[in-house]
Amino acid sequence: MLGFLSTKKAFIEQSTDSILQELINTYPTAELSQVQSWQTLINDLKQSSVFLSLPDNVIVGVEYSLPTGGMGIDLIICGYDTNKVKKAFIIESKQWNDQYIEKLSFSEYREEGKELHPQIQVGRHHLSFKDYTDVGFDYDVKSFVYIRNCGIKGLQIIQESNPRIETKKSLITNKIDDILVVIRNDILDGNDNLIEELKNAEYKPSKDIIDAMKSIITKDSPFILTPEQENIVKEVKKNIKDGK
């Protein structure tokens, strides 16, 4: 998978400009606004005393690509808890202020004139990493939304405007330290092997997904599908029939 990945210690020691150049080399079509967002996020981490207090060998990833729908995780932090369980913290980062948020219209999808709700967006990243990579199943995953420039009013608007109740559990905050404190309380350790594992991750639906799709195709159990899901199932069936 593409993206910048390093230990926290190496991340701190490497200059922001150098990290940005690596990201630009990886994503040469990135727009200036995207590069500026990376820069702001990287600097926010480097300036956080909570981030500095994380174990040196915890893994930090910026703009980590995912195998489904061109998705990318703005920030991912990985390591082990006290029981040696792998932990992955997925953060969706925005730089919206209250005035901008008040003008937005949120939806469940990327519709013209509407903004995909960030809690739904990070929920899809969570699902893609956990269920559609060959390493994600081994991780306990938590997701967050970091909206840097908004106030309490903006956070409230976003929380209340989420059309999907089941995705509202992802914490939304305008302070990166709120997220980093949760991470610090959960991660005890990390190692370089996690970097190679994440870099070499490949697309592979989890057994749960495969079993669910098998039951749909074979009609072993009843499912009530949305029109969008029904179209996708039809496409999957056609591809299977065509030998793809």
Residue 202's Cβ-count burial label (10 Å; 0-12, 13-18, 19+) is: exposed
pLDDT for the residue numbered 147: 96
Residue-wise pLDDT tens digits, 82-95: 999 999 999 999 99
Asked whether the beta carbons of 177 and 148 are under 8 A apart, the reply is: no
Residue 114 pLDDT more than 60?
Answer: yes
Beta-carbon neighbour count of residue 162 at 10 Å? 19
Point out the least confidently predicted range of 42-46, 151-155, 186-190, 202-206: 202-206
Task: 23-28: list long-range contacts, CB under 8 Å, 24+ apart.
Answer: 23/62, 23/63, 26/2, 26/63, 27/2, 27/63
CA separation for the pair 232, 222 (Å, rounded): 17
pLDDT band at residue 235 under the 50/70/90 scheme: confident
Q: Is the pLDDT of residue 224 over 70?
A: no
Q: Which amino acid is at 188?
A: L
The enclosing H or E element of 72 equals: strand 72-80
Q: Which pLDDT does position 221 carry in this prediction?
A: 52
pLDDT of 122 higher than 90: yes
pLDDT at 67: 85
Dist. CA 33–CA 35, nearest whole Å:
5
